[in-house]
Amino acid sequence: MLILLLTIISGCPSSPELIPQPISDFSLEHIDELIENGENLRALPLIASRDRDGKYTEGRYMRALEGLGDEWEEARKVKDWRKSLMYLRSFRTLGEEKRISEISEQDLLLEGVYSYLDANASGAALALIQSELELDSIDAKDRENLARRFELLGYKQFVSELRGKSRTEAPGLESSIDGTVTVWVNRGIKLVGNVGVPDRGIGSGFFIDPEGYLLTNYHVIESMVDPTYQGYSRLFVKTDDETGNRIPAKVIGWDRNLDLALLKTEMEVPYVLTYSNKELPPLGSTVYAIGSPGGLAKTLTSGTVSAYPRSIQPMAGSLQIDVPINPGNSGGPLLNKDGEVIGVVFAGVLSYEGVNFAIPGAYIKKLVPLLFEGGEVQLPWLGLSAWDATGRIKVTYVAPDSPAADAGLLPDDVIDVIDGFQFSGIREVQEYLLSRTPGTLISIDWLRMGERADGIAALGVRPSIPLETALMNDARENLITPLFGLKVQRINGYGLNKRYRITSVLPGSVADEAGFRAGDSFLLRRWIHDEEDDVVVIQMVLKGRRAGFLESAIQIATHLNINTIL
């Protein structure tokens, strides 16, 4: 989410340091090195880019393809269904499905389901089925096998679906309350003035697996996994306020981008919440939240769905709700009238009553299997920033040495098709990428100055804050467009005095809201990166047309963790 700050500034001017911009290495020597090191998925986009540009690659495509085949065979030998799925999808992107025709994508997904069940991770198995598989496409034998296994674990509603029967009577909200807990993070004592007071983080959570796995928000347990935090930190859950019993818990997996974390406790689980199999609830429909506001466990509140999607998180869209939410509710379930999970509460705007947000259930189901894998979730990325321009996805920035750079994308290209699908906006692409594993090859078609082009990219691992990484690897002036929405051209100046002309302003950007216009010019005086709050500020002396080209000192600011990154 972008923020805007306009102020008159003073002080000694300084200049941002320009860092040389590395670009993707398309040389034959680099491609040979990648193939020799077994990095065939990274080599193939570079080969495709050279071939597109008419540069001879001397049979390297076949060498990389044979290497990819060997990797596929190794993944099948060790029964690694997730890697196998990555290779299968990559072969399909290359049009080489004939090499692996003996197995289908559905076969591999079912392998994943059974592997989670065998590992006593039924919560992951259920989420994988509901997010990636159509029940009607599973053959009768597998459906019955799955029904028997889930029946033993108590998933009555889902078993009815597997057997094609009417769903059993919904358990309702009272049962769902039993499946929620208060999440406590004890960080010892902190000094307020000269007085020591308990430092505790309080949130909510809910069970998604009878083995004691539960979901909460990442920000609730952040100190447990943040390598920069050096203090005392212990994690517990409480099932009620009466006994005061604190049950130790541990963090299994977490994701910063969607603000989710998976915890594990060793206790008898009173109730397991299940996900709704319906689409997003319609605007105005009644929804319920269960949580621990102020530490008061098992508090039920209700409200309505106010809006969707809201660009609150770095990826995908959020549900806006007017359900009463207070500190301590974070990580609690958002439910429909049947007590089924349709989201996870993660934020509220304290200054505005009834403006609160939840992560939609569709994203949760996609992420849960990855959380069960353990550690920080690795989400895919292309390595570019884009802008929704009247139904078109226009590239505004390409990170150096990124998958997008390997594919040959440049700023001002308009993305048309990905893997054969057309998308109308950035959020839709982000949702699609969530279903892909880093390393997977995808095909991209784009328009460049009215001409069509295409390429392939091997998805990379998304950095926690992508543009913070870009600050370390690229010239800062290249980041003015993705961060502030200003397209600029340097007029003159070096060292402490660099003057730019604004060639265009992205509609709805920080610069647009601040009143910048094409034709304005400015002297960039200072670039400030606030690492603690992940904010970037630029200070400039602006000559604006609307002000009769009189000079004025201006400061604008934005968060680094913007939601236009693919």
Percent of the chain with pLDDT over 70: 90
d(CA 3, CA 21): 27
> pLDDT value at position 445?
95
SS3 446: strand
- Amino acid present at 529: H
DSSP string covering 173-208: HHHHHHTEEEEEEEEEEEEETTEEEEEEEEEEEEE-
Closest CA to 377 of 203, 224, 261, 211: 261
What whole-number percentage of the chain has pLDDT above 90?
Answer: 46
pLDDT tens, 214-238? 999 999 999 888 888 777 888 999 9
Q: What is the pLDDT of residue 12?
A: 31
pLDDT tens for 12-48 read 333 333 333 447 778 888 888 999 999 999 999 999 9
Please write the tens of the pLDDT for every residue from 479-535.
889 998 889 888 876 655 788 888 888 888 888 888 888 888 888 888 888 888 888
Looking at residue 19, its pLDDT comes to 37
* Residue written as token pair 């990154």: 565
At 194 the pLDDT is 64
Exposure class string for 243-278: b at 16+ Cβ within 10 A, else e: eeeeeebebbbbbbbbbbbbbbbeeebebbbbbbee
- Tell me the pLDDT band of 11, cut-offs 50, 70 and 90: very low
291 within 8 A of 277, measured Cβ to Cβ:
no
Provide the pLDDT for residue 22.
44
Q: What is the 3-state secondary structure (H, E, C) of 333-363?
A: EEECCCCCEEEEEEEECCCCCCCEEEEEHHH
Can you tell me the mean pLDDT for 539-559? Answer: 78
Q: What is the mean pLDDT of residues 326-333?
A: 90
Query: 380-381 and 375-376: which strand pairing?
Result: unpaired
Q: What is the mean pLDDT of residues 409-430?
A: 92
Q: Are strands 299-310 and 286-291 parallel, antiparallel or unpaired?
A: antiparallel
Q: What is the pLDDT of residue 260?
A: 96
Is residue 239 over pLDDT 80?
A: yes
CA distance between the termini of the chain: 15
Average pLDDT over residues 210-216: 96
Instruction: Identify the pLDDT of residue 279.
Output: 76
Q: Between 464 and 438, name the one with better pLDDT.
A: 438
Tell me the mean pLDDT in the region 426-444: 93
Task: Provide the mean pLDDT of the chain.
Answer: 86
Which range (171-180, 246-255, 297-306, 427-436) has the least confidence?
A: 171-180
- Quick one: DSSP state of residue 29? H
Alpha carbon distances (Å) from 85 to 97, 228, 437: 12, 35, 9
For the segment 391-395, the average pLDDT, to the nearest whole number, is: 88
DSSP bridge pairs for 541: 523, 553
Query: Does 7 score more than 60 pLDDT?
Result: no
Whether 82 has a pLDDT exceeding 90, the answer reads yes
- Cα(412)–Cα(399) distance, integer angstroms: 14
94 has a pLDDT exceeding 60: yes
Per-residue confidence (pLDDT) for residue 18, from 0 to 100? 37
Interatomic CA distance for residues 306 and 322, integer angstroms: 6
pLDDT tens-digit map of 274-316 = 898 877 888 999 999 999 888 888 889 999 999 888 877 887 7
pLDDT at residue 124 greater than cutoff 60: yes
Contacts of 4 (CB under 8 A, 6+ apart): 510, 513, 514, 556, 557, 558
Cβ atoms 325, 289 nearer than 8 A:
yes
pLDDT of residue 1: 36
Give the torsion through C-alpha atoms of 132, 134, 137, 139, to 10 deg: 80
Beta bridge partners of 392: 389
pLDDT at 245: 81
| CA–CA separation, 377 and 403 (whole Å) | 19
**Candidate from 73-77, 149-153, 504-508 with smallest mean pLDDT:** 504-508
